[in-house]
Amino acid sequence: MNISRTAILAHRVLTGPDLKEQLNRCVLVDNGKILDILPAEEYRKLKDTWPAVDLGRGTLMPGLFDCHSHLALDAGRKGHLAMMSLPEEEHMKLAEENLKKDLYSGVTTMRCMGDRYYLDIRTRELIRRGSMEGPDILVCGIGMRSAAGHGYVGLPHTGAEEFAVTSRENIRRGADHLKVFISPGIPAASPEEEIPCFLTREEIRAVIREAREAGIHTTAHCIGGNGLDICVQEGIDVIDHLYSVTLRQVQLLETSFSGWVDLTSGIVLDEKRENYTPVGQNERMRAARPYSRQCLRRIYRSGKIRYTLGTDAYHGMLYREVEFAVSLGADRRQALLAVTSDAARMTGLERVCGQIAPGYQADLAGFGQNPLTQENALADVKFVMKQGRIISFSKKS
**Domain residue spans of the chain:** 5-63+353-393, 65-347
CA geometry: angle at 171 spanning 143 and 148, to 5°?
25
pLDDT of residue 187 exceeding 90, the answer is yes
pLDDT for 2 equals 43
Q: Model confidence at 149, in pLDDT bands (50, 70, 90)?
A: very high
Task: pLDDT band for 378, please (50, 70, 90 cuts).
Answer: very high
**Mean pLDDT to the nearest integer, 297-320:** 97
pTM, entire model: 0.97
Predicted pLDDT of residue 1: 42
Q: How far apart are CA 166 and CA 141, in angstroms?
A: 9
Straight-line distance from the first to the last Cα atom of the chain, in angstroms, rounded to the nearest whole number? 20
Q: How many whole angstroms separate alpha carbon 118 and alpha carbon 287?
A: 35
Query: What's the mean pLDDT in 293-305?
Result: 97
CA–CA distance from 81 to each of 148, 152, 335 (Å)? 18, 7, 29
The structural architecture, per CATH, of the domain 5-63+353-393 is Roll (2.30)
pLDDT mean over 45-53 = 94
pLDDT of residue 79: 84
Please give the class, per CATH, of domain 65-347.
Answer: alpha beta
Q: How many CB atoms lie within 10 A of CB 122?
A: 18
pLDDT mean over 151-179: 97
| 131 CB-contact burial (10 Å; exposed 0-12 / middle 13-18 / buried 19+) | exposed
pLDDT at 125 over 60: yes
Angle at 376 between CA 375 and CA 382, to 5 degrees: 125
Half-sphere exposure in the Cβ direction for 48 (13 Å, CA) = 1
pLDDT value of position 83 = 83
pLDDT (average), residues 101-129:
97
**Packed helices 247-256 and 226-234: angle between N→C axes, nearest 10 degrees:** 0
- The percentage of the chain sitting over the pLDDT mark of 90, rounded to a whole number, equals 93
pLDDT > 70? residue 3: no
- Per-chain mean pLDDT for the chain: 96
Average confidence (pLDDT) over 30-56 = 96
For residue 395, pLDDT over 80 is answered with: no
Cβ count near 395 (within 10 Å): 9
